Amino acid sequence: MRVFAIPMTTRFRGITVREGVVIEGDAGWGEWSPFTEYPPDVAEPWLRCAEEAAAGDWPVVVRDAVPVNATVPVIPPEAAHALVVASGCTTAKVKVADPGTPPADDLARVEAVRDALGPAGMLRVDANGAWTVDEAVAAIGALDRVAGGLEYVEQPCASVEDLAAVRRKVDVPIAADESIRRASDPYRVRDLAAADIAVLKVQPLGGVRACLRIAEDIGMPVVVSSALETSLGLAAGVALAAALPHLEHACGLATRSLLTGDVADPELTPVDGMLPVLLPLVVPALADAVAAPPERVAWWEQRLAAVRALREAGRS
């Protein structure tokens, strides 16, 4: 295994360095990069995803390219406009409701992105569960107006019950992310009619085949999204998106540009808003260039041992 520590181009999800592991198996490599605050039980499905990839156990694809959205962090409007124009994407997802950021800043960022996309582009926002029901209803109305129409709002509130309440009060479609990938029962979103769209991330949900089963059972359109992976990890998300029978929305897999380095080649970066369906290969020189310092390697080795010990305890 190799441990990487890659500085990010901008602070995202509260972090400035993305850490993780690439693990070699019989058929190649897989990425294991659960966020550092996750306990072993939460990190375990991420390991299943890496092992599936390293074993070469992915399903047959039905498309050779996947449409993707530009991802806009909490940055000034001018920078958001430039990012979307440079991306070449016709869909953009804008992060909103960041702690300490005034709502007016979110409105200005969304307005700038709409200008960059033009009237025909698709614009979605992601609140990462930050709002109460009342805050969500007010914010969604304001954002929808300044956006000239939102494609959907991702995870406006933290709980499934609150998602359902918001969905009944607004006309903008609701997408569920954390309420699926961090829930003990991902199907509560379906059972409570809490969302219109399911956001699936392959690492947190245990791999490509596990996500295909969820997509089939959950009974709503799917958006495949990343967890801030390297090109190696993104390839698993692309494999899922390429294997879905129906793909109605652009996917949130164009996040390679948020990292300053990579471990694999070719890099998974979009061209004209599309990602090719391919499998990047780990390049030792690239992995060496972003290698984590020894103390972080030791930390990840201990973490991997803890997850494997949890598995063993579950089997006994």
> Cis peptide leading into 67, omega within 30 of 0?
no
d(CA 166, CA 24): 44
- Residue 39's identity, in one-letter code, is P
Q: Where are the alpha helices (DSSP H) in the chain?
A: 40-54, 77-87, 103-117, 133-147, 160-169, 178-181, 188-191, 208-218, 231-243, 284-289, 294-315
Handedness of CA 192, 239, 55, 257 (dihedral sign): negative
- Residue 310's identity, in one-letter code, is L
- Residue 29's identity, in one-letter code, is W
Contact indicator for 31, 50 with CB cutoff of 8 Å: yes
Residue 183's CB is within 10 A of a number of other CB atoms, namely 14
d(CA 34, CA 182): 12
Instruction: State the catalytic residues.
Output: 95, 201
d(CA 191, CA 93): 26
Work out the burial of residue 208: count CB atoms within 10 Å of its CB; fewer than 13 is exposed, 13-18 middle, 19 or more buried.
buried
